[in-house]
Amino acid sequence: MTQKPNRASKVEEETELAASLVSTLPTASFMVGDQLMTSTQFETLLDSHISLMSEITNDRAALHAKIIQGDAMRASIELGIESLKALVTSTYGANSTQAITLKFAAAKRKKPTAATRAAAVEKDLATRVARDTKGKDQKEEVHGAVTATPPAAPPTEPAAPSPAATPQAPQSSGLPGRGK
């Protein structure tokens, strides 16, 4: 399986061709598209293309370096903007003229879509079922029944033993070795 040639390998082939074309075929003329060219003209065309590709490679490397530098700056800038926004909102308030001027005003809440609201309702109902909670109307239907109970009577004190009472002797239990 042959590998598809990349830009660098094509430039290398063109460089080799340009170096040997005029010395190998000094008087050759041939068609390039709809134009007749000599070996010298085609060599000039090859040299121009090689030079352009070299500039592109150099420019691409410079562009890549600038992109990396820009990304590093972007990270610092985002941290700075975040800190500045915190300063403005804590000092002057989220809806102050300073915050509005600097475009730091509080973001307006987006209206939820119908699908989001439907999902929220389903979740709410599922939570109510799971927790066995009731809504306002269901709570109104629940009424406790109060049964009438007589007021509690004040506790009575036991009667004090009379001083004339004499202690009695313990009685026998009827079991051997127990009692008298």
141: helix, coil or strand? helix
Domain count, the chain: 1
- Cα–Cα distance measured from residue 6 to residue 10, given in angstroms and rounded to the nearest whole number: 6
pLDDT at 133: 73
Alpha-carbon distance of 12 to 18, in angstroms, equals: 10
Can you give the residue range of the structural domain that contains 39?
7-101
Report the C-alpha gap between 70 and 75 in whole angstroms: 9
- Here the tokens at position 158 are 């036991």
- The pair phi, psi for residue 148, each rounded to 5°, is -75, 125
As a 3-state breakdown, the chain gives helix, strand, coil percent values, each rounded to 5, of 55, 5, 40
- Environment class of residue 104 by beta-carbon count within 10 Å: exposed (0-12), middle (13-18) or buried (19+)? buried
**Does residue 67 belong to any structural domain of this protein?**
yes
46 found inside a domain: yes
DSSP class per residue in 69-125: HHHHHHHHHHHHHHHHHHHHHHHH-TTSHHHHHTT-PPPPPPPPPHHHHHHHHHHHH
Answer yes or no: is 117 within a domain: no
Per-residue pLDDT at 162:
60
pLDDT (0 to 100) of residue 91: 92
172 assigned to some structural domain: no
175 is a domain residue: no
Residue found by looking up tokens 């509005």 in the block: 100
Report if residue 23 sits inside a domain: yes
pLDDT averaged per 10 residues, the chain (length 180): 75 90 90 92 93 92 94 92 92 89 81 92 85 75 67 65 59 58
Q: What is the pLDDT of residue 179?
A: 54
- Picking from 16, 19, 37, the residue whose alpha carbon sits closest to that of residue 28 is 37
Residue 162 falls inside a structural domain: no
Q: How many residues does the chain have?
A: 180
Q: Do residues 11 and 19 touch, judged by C-beta distance below 8 A?
A: no
pLDDT at 142: 67
Query: Is 1 a member of any domain?
Result: no
